């Protein structure tokens, strides 16, 4: 798992975490990603650190193509571009666990909790799987 950045006192967003993780997995610098996408490296950096949010669909697609992001991660980037409050920890967990589908991720990301306690990420995914299997008539 990649460390969450705290540059400029901004908490890294879930989108920023995933972009940085995908870029580092491809071993690309910001400038190399700029060359592949035509997107300014400063803008990509701001997305990664959380100083910018909600990139356009065109920007997401350019980044996903250049990063050779699998379909699940591309879908996650699209989802996260419209939800800047998504939990970076959940994204990190899902990114590490390739068995989690996009549908399971989106359902877990949209969960609402009462009180102060939140289940850990693996428990959330297990609950979502249980609910989805019941909805499909398999439970």
For residue range 106-122, list pLDDT tens digits in order: 999 988 777 677 779 99
Indicate the Cα dihedral angle 132, 78, 36, 28, nearest 10°.
-60
Mean pLDDT, residues 89-115: 91
- Contact present, 86 and 109 (Cβ < 8 Å): yes
pLDDT at residue 137 in the model: 62
pLDDT at residue 8 in the model: 43
CATH superfamily of 7-135: lambda repressor-like DNA-binding domains (1.10.260.40)
- The C-alpha angle with vertex 54 and arms to 16 and 106, in degrees rounded to 5, equals 70
Domain spans, the chain: 7-135
pLDDT at residue 134 in the model: 86
pLDDT at residue 130 in the model: 94
Q: Give the global pTM.
A: 0.86
């Amino acid at each position: 798992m990649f460390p969450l950045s705290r540059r400029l006192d901004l908490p890294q967003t879930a989108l920023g975490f995933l972009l940085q993780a995908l870029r580092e997995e491809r071993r690309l610098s910001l400038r190399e990603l700029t060359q592949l996408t035509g997107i300014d490296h400063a803008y990509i950096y701001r997305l990664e650190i959380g100083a910018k949010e909600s990139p356009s669909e065109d920007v997401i697609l350019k980044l996903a193509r250049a990063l050779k992001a699998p379909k699940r991660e591309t879908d996650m980037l699209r989802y996260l571009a419209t939800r800047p409050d998504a939990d970076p920890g959940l994204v990190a967990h899902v990114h590490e666990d390739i068995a989690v589908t996009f549908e399971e991720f989106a359902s877990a990301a949209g969960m609402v909790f009462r009180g102060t306690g939140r289940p850990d990420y693996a428990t959330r995914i297990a609950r979502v799987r249980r609910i989805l299997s019941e909805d499909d008539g398999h439970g």
